[in-house]
Structure 1
Amino acid sequence: MMTKKEIRDIILKKRLDLEQEKYEKYSQRIVEKLRNQIKKMEFDSIALYYPISKEVDVLPLIEELLKTQKKVYLPKVLGKQMKMGRVKRFDRLIKSKFNIPEPIDDEFSSKIDLYIIPAIAYDFNGYRIGYGGGYYDRYFIQSPKSYLIGVVFNFQLISSFPTHSNDLKVDFIITEKNEIEIK
């Protein structure tokens, strides 16, 4: 079995090598499925992410959500911790030390109804491999888990990898080809 680092290196390279046209097409397909999935759900607040390094492009969905009554949150890194900061407009974001746009305002919440979570890879049990910083894992140790949806491209789904007791597990995974409910 490959290590998480080996998986991370292989999949990240594959994702970065994804042709722009496919990247856009697959992202649109995933966002469409995501839109349909969240329409069925009752929620007032939702946390997403700002896509980097060819993560699934959820920006169109964020724009739509900002026009509704829903509260929209994006990650903000403070030292070793990650918090979810409220976003009301895209022009209220500023690049972090990781060069990722984050909310300027310090209106944080850890009681969020729904999370959309990117990854380098997910396995079929819902476990996630991120960039290795542990930000999401630490965040959910301190914050109540609600409903977590993982979004990745189909080639980022892996049958299994070594997991740890505090590894993050999502409830649902959406790719351009699959929708997987984790039991």
Structure 2
Amino acid sequence: MTPSAEEDALRRRVKAELRTRMRGVRRALPAEARAARSERIWERVLARDEWAGAKTVMLFLSMRTEVDTSTPAKAAWNAGKRVCAPRVTESGLAVHEWARDVVPVESGSMRVPEPPEDAPLVDPGEVDLVIVPALVLDERGARIGYGAGYYDHLLPRLTRATRIGVVFDFQLVAEVPETAGDERVHVVVTDERAIDVTT
């Protein structure tokens, strides 16, 4: 059932509040704890069949207090997988190759690490597995990102990719309020658990 305008506005306010709260909680996590928790997340992800079977893996380039993605990048390169990452454009996220010897650049108003502009483009339909960043997730795979909607627009274009959302366990909540256009992930992985989403 489509929510009323009032319900939709309430959900958006709650999402904004959760976004702000989780940013603060995540900032308070010491660097050593963040590194240890990140490693436990990747132990779970790298043990999954979806990872083993993926030829092309899309990662986000972690910034500041996010789950550190250096471990899966190295694992993918060492396994001979093609690694790609998003780059912000005027029309949304473009998918570019991220080769081992390529140094990411920080660009845009948010200073987000990205592959350089001249890195080869990857057809989104060729991505087998995508690691999705989030500020908040729930056990249904519903997600709150940073608010720009970039991944909500990109994920439907990754037509064959398994979507794995990664967060620290304290970022998992009972239920995320969803609004029009929100895209869910297929698997939720934290430093404490892995949840296969059932629809």
TM (norm. structure 2) is: 0.85
Question: For residue 111 of structure 2, what is the amino acid of its counterpart?
Answer: N
In structure 2, the residue matched to 1:140 is 155
* Residue 121 (structure 2) pairs with residue 107 (structure 1): yes
C-alpha distance in structure 2 between counterparts of 1:5 and 1:167, whole Å: 14
RMSD between superposed Cα atoms in Å: 1.8
CA contact (8 A) 2:135 2:145 kept: yes
Shift >3 Å, 4+ stretches: 38-41
**Compared with structure 1, are the counterparts of its residues 3 and 174 closer, same or farther at alpha carbon in structure 2 (3 Å cutoff)?**
same
Long gaps (5+) in structure 2: 1-10
Greater CA radius of gyration, 1 or 2?
Answer: 2
How much identity, in percent, do the aligned residues show? 28
Matches for 1:20-39 after TM superposition, within 5 Å? 20-38=31-49
Can you list the C-alpha shifts for 1:98-126, whole angstroms capped at 9, x where unaligned? 22221121322202110111100001110
CA contact (8 A) 2:51 2:129 kept: no
Count of aligned positions: 183
CA contact (8 A) 1:83 1:109 kept: no
In structure 1, the residue matched to 2:193 is 178
Residue 39 of structure 1: how far off its partner (Å): 6.6
* Residue 131 (structure 2) pairs with residue 127 (structure 1): no
* Residue 84 (structure 2) pairs with residue 50 (structure 1): no
C-alpha distance in structure 1 between counterparts of 2:121 and 2:65, whole Å: 28
Residue 63 of structure 1: how far off its partner (Å): 1.6
**Compared with structure 1, are the counterparts of its residues 143 and 179 closer, same or farther at alpha carbon in structure 2 (3 Å cutoff)?**
closer
CA contact (8 A) 2:137 2:172 kept: yes
**Compared with structure 1, are the counterparts of its residues 95 and 125 closer, same or farther at alpha carbon in structure 2 (3 Å cutoff)?**
same
Long gaps (5+) in structure 1: none
CA contact (8 A) 1:80 1:135 kept: no
TM (norm. structure 1) is: 0.92
Can you list the C-alpha shifts for 1:143-176, whole angstroms capped at 9, x where unaligned? 4252100110011001113212421101111111
Can you list the C-alpha shifts for 1:48-100, whole angstroms capped at 9, x where unaligned? 11111311112122022123321101111111410111111253422221222
